[in-house]
Homo-oligomer: A and B are copies of this chain.
């Protein structure tokens, strides 16, 4: 069918066209079907239908299609019904809990990366993954497909080290310490990090205060080879690009399917050629992993998947019910991390957690003897080598290597939240803490966040400050404060009946 083109100057993230229902019927296609649009260029697009927006005889083409066709709009294009991509059949098989082949999984991932699937199809893929999960084989193939559909880094020198944190614990700025500690000991660690989606600051948000974080795979390789490590934003690379496209669907559904979680982590590690990976699994109330059993299960699955992909994976179940250190929000967290590197002093939870994870990497990389990694990590902080290495990393990424914690600017508007009674802090709600930091402007306003004066188990006197909220804008401070006061993120109780310390608890 010949149709005249009506460009719709809107980006929809995929090839999509709009047909009048009369033409759609004539073509025998329904909403959600595909048509083949043929011109000098040709492409397959997903069909939307309308009764009045596009006149009969016309085809509305969204930005992506218009851009691909690249033409004058005077001549009609040829439009024909097209079959659905084979990947939609694979999604149907997933819904039916049928086993998939390696090729089938690749088809789906390829079409995800190519934006060939509609939101309806992608959501069904995620929902099916969530409900039915995938087998070990299928998860391995999913991971490989995610690696193969993006850029890869191949280092000549080995071993390559990497680290990942499952997330869910506020103030987890440890990568700013772990990466330089590991690199300072001669190992290569090309760390790609994420920005916060629902959190108050991802490692990429933090590092961006010190240096640019947007680089491609070739640049990451080059910088890592020069100074031993980088801390960059994974979203700016084309490494495992399927991941971000899936997160777009997972986010509104509030799910992170088990097989996708595994594949997403390990694909990013596999694509940078990691040999040894340490994965931090924050566990406990308020985190993504409710208890030690679930944490162990996840650890086993990660180790197993690593083995299948030729990576050594070690996992650390860490205490996740309390923030790491005493700051939440990009600038505050950077200050805290820099201070530790500059002075060798700081919150125990931050130093210990960083040293434990860095120590594991140092041992895996063969630069510390078994059981000596932790000590070497602490030493690398104390002797200033970690700071020196971070400065090199900052410099190679284009930041100012002379930066100190005093140069980091926090929000000028502050308010304190004070204890209403004498007693101990017996509850501290991670999610509320992040909510308050976000209301104050984090992670977008880098200076916004929360400084924690008193943590769980610590005693406080009436009217003593327990939290200071920082904001760059007064109205955001006010929003955050009102919210915090209405429903305090912590509970102070006059008498602590019993204190049950988790054995893995590392707290200042």
* A residues neighboring B (CB under 8 Å): 8-11, 18, 25-26, 28, 30-33, 50, 52-53, 60, 63, 84, 88, 91-92, 95, 97, 118-124, 126-128, 130-132, 197, 248-249, 251-255, 438-439, 441, 444-445
Contacts and interface: CB of A to CB of B under 8 A. Distances in A.
A68 B275 CA distance: 56
Contacts of A444: 25-26, 28
Nearest to A443: B25
B28 A252 contact: no
Contacts of A119: 118-120, 123
Given A10-B53, A131-B132, A248-B32, A92 B124 contact: no
Number of copies: 2
B92 A254 contact: yes
A133 to B, nearest CB: 11
A95 B252 contact: no
A251 B120 CA distance: 10
Nearest to A255: B95
A290 to B, nearest CB: 13
16 contacts: A10-B18, A28-B441, A30-B251, A32-B248, A32-B251, A32-B252, A33-B252, A88-B252, A88-B253, A88-B254, A95-B127, A95-B255, A118-B119, A119-B120, A120-B123, A127-B131
A267 B207 CA distance: 56
A112 to B, nearest CB: 14
The 9 closest A-B pairs by CB, nearest first: A32-B252, A123-B123, A25-B444, A127-B127, A120-B123, A119-B119, A124-B127, A131-B131, A11-B53
A235 B52 CA distance: 17
A293 B11 CA distance: 49
Contacts of A84: 252
A9 B95 CA distance: 36
A273 to B, nearest CB: 30
Nearest to A130: B95
A30 to B, nearest CB: 6
A47 to B, nearest CB: 10
A210 B9 CA distance: 43
A421 to B, nearest CB: 31
